Structure 1
């Protein structure tokens, strides 16, 4: 299944616009699912066949035994926590033994959220506007325990953005209703991340390649690489030489007295921050 998925560009702030629909951005495994003669084939964003990884998704609730090609995301919802868990999903993606996968598909099943339909009974739908493809998606498949059509809100991006509270929902995606499905990145789809913020201390830096070790309340919580301007890097390096405490093969350690504000998407169960970005120094 060699088809380049459509990808969003980044936008910093949410907005309202009647030309768009807005969907939650669920942190999951982007999958294209082709159903032909009742048999499902699942492929990752890079085109790798992952059909055997998700047995619970083999029966797609298409209407009238249609042949379809769906675009969407597989995600794990932790019912006990009431939120999506990207960490649990990554554990599932790493499974290789068929028995382990079978057991997980029963006790910890993933859900698939379909947000687009690209083919229907042999007809290529990519040249149709998104509004029309969404209407066809409603006709082509039903919802069940494993499959869901992605929720979308017309025009009111700010409202959806403010409503997001769940772990594993990274923000919103804005999609122009008149956009065709074009492979690769497109400004017709826009991602607005729902960032969280924290004040941290810098406890060291990488010897090879750039990265600052982050610490909060005495616990290592990750490495920040993104968003640090050149002058800030130089200022830190100048100060760091006076507060060195040691080193190993990979890192040089400093007294954690330099504070910074970061933003990030979520935390793992161990407290590590995902996708941290530097905002500014504090103090």
Structure 2
């Protein structure tokens, strides 16, 4: 059972900064959304949301907790938590405001006016089994089978090989950047060169306030 598998925010895999986009058939390329890195854990009826720095998100994001609670089985997901603006692009300021909203009445109002989304891009555990030693391609297959997309939970698929094309899409959408991931890489704790972070230099916003980034 998942509840006997101890996985904490400190176990997250982290990307290494890379200076430029590239294409390579051995790599997967994912859009980098402007949000908070989030570890999502479901064990029985218990759901826990943790930031990269180990801060709890449950109280501020009950809409995400509710959506996860409806997914069958036990699992541990790696994801990016966002709130979109009126055009559908991630809005970090709206997300920050939701994260600091604590009183139940205000949290309910914020969840209605600024609903959150969880872009799920990896799985550390599925049905109680630790799958971190599997290559990224196999973890993605298990993850894709574990839930259906909704307005709240979104599977982040990525594109193989065509990193430069993905980065052009990043620039067109005005997103923060992209993450390149080696297809055969296991999920390992800490900073790794199997995950590379390529930022779009034309993107800008105020610095994050301590909840942690990818």
Q: CA deviation at 1:10?
A: 0.8
**Deviation by residue 1:168-198 (Cα, 9 ceiling, x = unmatched):** x2111000011111111000000111112xx
Distance in 2, Cα, partners of 1:93 & 1:63:
22
- Give the strand-richer structure, 1 or 2: 1
Check whether the contact 1:72–1:112 (CA below 8 A) recurs between aligned residues: yes
Q: Is residue 109 from structure 1 mapped to residue 90 from structure 2 by the alignment?
A: no
Counterparts of 1:121-200 in structure 2, within 5 Å, are 121-164=127-170, 165-167=172-174, 169-196=175-202
Q: In the alignment, which of 10, 13, 16 is matched to residue 9 of structure 1?
A: 16
Counterparts of 1:76-115 in structure 2, within 5 Å, are 76-78=83-85, 80-115=86-121
Check whether the contact 2:47–2:69 (CA below 8 A) recurs between aligned residues: no
Check whether the contact 2:57–2:99 (CA below 8 A) recurs between aligned residues: no
Q: Is residue 68 from structure 1 mapped to residue 75 from structure 2 by the alignment?
A: yes
CA RMSD of aligned residues (A): 1.9
Distance in 1, Cα, partners of 2:34 & 2:71:
31
Query: Could you tell me the TM-score, scaled by structure 1's length?
Result: 0.67
Which of the two has higher C-alpha Rg?
A: 1
**Larger relative contact order, structure 1 or 2 (CA cutoff 8 Å, min sep 6):** 2
1:22 to 1:34, Cα distance in 2 relative to 1, 3 A: same
Q: CA deviation at 1:274?
A: 5.4
Runs of 4+ in 1 over 6 A off after TM superposition: none
| 1:117 partner SS | strand
1:64 to 1:5, Cα distance in 2 relative to 1, 3 A: closer
Query: Could you tell me the TM-score, scaled by structure 2's length?
Result: 0.87
Distance in 1, Cα, partners of 2:75 & 2:66:
13
Check whether the contact 1:8–1:190 (CA below 8 A) recurs between aligned residues: yes
Distance in 2, Cα, partners of 1:63 & 1:85:
26
- Mean Cα deviation higher: 122-131 or 158-167: 158-167
Consecutive unaligned residues of structure 2, counting only runs of 5 or more, are 1-6, 209-214
Q: CA deviation at 1:166?
A: 3.0
Distance in 2, Cα, partners of 1:38 & 1:184:
29
- Give the helix-richer structure, 1 or 2: 2
Distance in 2, Cα, partners of 1:61 & 1:143:
11
